[in-house]
Structure 1
Amino acid sequence: MITATKPPRFLIIQTAFIGDVILTTALLEQIHAARPDAILDVLVRKGNESLLVGHPFLHDVLVWEKKKPGDRFIKYRDLRRLITLVRSRQYDVVLNLQRFGATGLLTTLSQASITIGFAQNPFSRFFTHKIDHRYEPGIHEVDRNAALLRPLGMQGPRIMPRLYPSPDDFAVAKTYQGKPYVCIAPTTVWFTKQYPVERWAELIKMIPTNLTVYLLGAPSDVAICERIRTLADRPDQVVNLAGKMNLMRSAALHQGAVMNYANDSAALHLCSAMDAPTTAVFCSTVPDFGYGPLASQSRVVQTREPLDCKPCGVHGRTRCPLGHFRCAWTIRVEDLVLPV
């Protein structure tokens, strides 16, 4: 427990992917609620820092450059830089949300007064406190993260993740909000988490024509989104915004949608952080892993077919291990379109 009269200084380490960083914002909300005077820093991997620009509770965002073309050792050189920087900050508390050795080493060498992380981290024996990380039905990732606050006496009721788009982000989103619309984020990093292109096109054909459909994604998703738009054959209704909206502008657009459709992906967590209406499509994974939607108006759609092979893993795969991908193909399009 923190008893110091001076504002305590925290470092929260989350160097995983976009969705993980979004869910980490719930921890920022909870710490701020318990100690509004706390000085909060976050460490993220390079590329994810844009999610936290302008966050009202954050003092600083540290960035770890883990990959660089032509430099195979950048990850370790930059880790050494971070260790020196973190030590100089003299943190009162380091909270490590990662279960991998590099961040465990950083936590151990941080010289923080209190270090807390998950027991599954190979360096957890050197932490001040370690908490078990388990996949249990009904326990969301934000709950698992919040458990790290237990040794500090700061764990309270669940607080939702939250993002803070800038006025400029909202202004850009507003240019697309002239009439009611739905958003579809049809892609993921993993093949087995992604509802098939043909099914997304079928869904669009069932969405009332008075609603504009915005397809969202990264620059690498432009071609897939264009294929969906072509298959849907509704050129006046569907707009391909892949590669045209950054994460925070997409978040602002999600907030004003009649409905948002997303796979088990970062887009799903963007919607949760904006409390935007969400239909989450789970193919090879299941919400019981703790990554389901958190928006007040949200629902999960999965196959109705009992499959012994589902889930085939906690994370997605590059292909269906059995070759049939029935966890995706047997999801009824009618089940998705119902709320709209």
Structure 2
Amino acid sequence: MKILIIRFSSIGDIVLTTPVIRCLKQQIDGAEIHYLTKKSFASILDSNPYVDKLHLLSGTLSTTIKELEAENFDYIIDLHNNLRTRLIKLQLDVKARSFDKLNLKKFLLVNFKVNILPVKHIVDRYLDTVAFLDVKNDGQGLDYFFSGQHELESLLPDTHQKYIGLVIGAQHATKRLPVHKLIEICKTLSQPVVLLGGKEDAARGEEIRQGSPHNVFNGCGKYSLEQSAVLVKNAQQIISHDTGLMHIAAAFDKPIISVWGNTVPEFGMYPYKVSRHQMLEVKGLKCRPCSKIGYEKCPLGHFKCMNEQRTDSITIIDRSDN
């Protein structure tokens, strides 16, 4: 049986589909698993042993569709479910199942604060999409695989070989703590801290480093995604916003402190199947959630969901296994 899974973006969302990949491959005899994603996210999946062939969305959609037509798939599992994936399914004319994004229920929560969302993680809802194939959740959590060996000593200075990873980035500003709050966190920690984020976070990272004690190393923009994942795996614990590196940390069952701003855990994207997790959020705000994704600035201007975070409530999770 040849199966195509589709999820175009982003880092965290793709990592959250890895149990579907694994369960399909392991539970269906002779299953051949293909995966379609954007070229920029190829590194997340190109070392996954459960993916037989990776297809990359590049050039025109029609070119990608022609490539896929040659494969003669038996099923399409659409875990993105947008206009482009609908066009792909229409053109391929293959039996398909699509992930229910629950957009109406999310709309009610965001706009009217009426929560009728299921109390169910998005991974379990992804797996519901393939239940018709008699595939069940194996309970093994998320996967992340490396393409090669990476030595921690080559990535960090000697002073930061045992550290806490602080993920300062997120796609939208309303999902990120302000710089002064991130500095507060660094000041509460006695352990060395490694700041993690992309090139777009480098300037904020430097501001945090300069405003913090001597134990902060700014790694933002210095590493590839795979190298950042290595640093996540080797951290004693991770403090992160609702973002992709948080889900990579969950794949390694790291102790995680997740920080929530305009989004809420009720959307079902909190760290999946981790044994140690502390959640930070400002309860009781009538404006929250203000979006299912995020904004470039607080729509009301006060940004209470992050400005009122109690950074002094952060606790060091047990690290006996590190």
Deviation at 1:26, TM superposition (A): 1.6
Please state whether the residue corresponding to 1:109 is helix, strand or coil.
helix
Deviation at 1:37, TM superposition (A): 3.1
Please state whether the residue corresponding to 1:262 is helix, strand or coil.
strand
Equivalence map 1:156-305=2 (5 Å)? 156-168=137-149, 170-172=150-152, 175-176=155-156, 179-208=161-190, 211-232=191-212, 234-235=213-214, 237-294=215-272, 295-304=274-283
Deviation at 1:101, TM superposition (A): 1.2
Give unpaired runs (5+ residues) of structure 2: 103-114
Which residue of structure 1 lines up, in the alignment, with residue 79 of structure 2? 97
Matched positions, count = 303
Q: Verify the 8 A CA contact 1:162 1:273 in the aligned structure 2.
A: yes
Task: Choose the corresponding residue for 1:81, options 20, 38, 63.
Answer: 63
Please state whether the residue corresponding to 1:167 is helix, strand or coil.
coil
Q: Verify the 8 A CA contact 2:2 2:32 in the aligned structure 1.
A: yes
- Identify if the C-alpha distance between structure 1 residues 282 and 173 changes in structure 2 by more than 3 Å, giving closer, same or farther: farther
**Identity, % of aligned positions:** 26
The list of structure 1 runs, each at least 4 consecutive aligned residues, that deviate by more than 4 angstroms after superposition, is 172-175
Q: Distance in 2 between matches of 1:57 and 1:230?
A: 44
Q: Distance in 1 between matches of 2:101 and 2:121?
A: 18
Q: Do structure 1's residue 31 and structure 2's residue 12 form an aligned pair?
A: no
TM-score, with normalisation over the residues of structure 2? 0.88
Q: Verify the 8 A CA contact 1:172 1:249 in the aligned structure 2.
A: no
Deviation at 1:119, TM superposition (A): 5.4
Supply the AA of the counterpart residue of 2:76: V
Task: Choose the corresponding residue for 1:138, options 113, 119, 130.
Answer: 119
Q: Distance in 2 between matches of 1:177 and 1:59?
A: 38
Q: Distance in 2 between matches of 1:135 and 1:16?
A: 26
Q: Distance in 1 between matches of 2:230 and 2:281?
A: 27
Q: Distance in 2 between matches of 1:266 and 1:279?
A: 14
CA RMSD of aligned residues (A): 2.1
Deviation at 1:219, TM superposition (A): 1.5
Deviations 1:203-238 (A, max 9, x none): 111111xx2211111112111111111111x23x11
Q: Verify the 8 A CA contact 2:3 2:73 in the aligned structure 1.
A: yes
Deviation at 1:81, TM superposition (A): 0.8
- Identify if the C-alpha distance between structure 1 residues 286 and 227 changes in structure 2 by more than 3 Å, giving closer, same or farther: same
Give unpaired runs (5+ residues) of structure 1: 1-7, 66-73, 122-133
Q: Distance in 2 between matches of 1:263 and 1:280?
A: 6
Q: Distance in 1 between matches of 2:270 and 2:117?
A: 13
Q: Distance in 1 between matches of 2:78 and 2:303?
A: 35
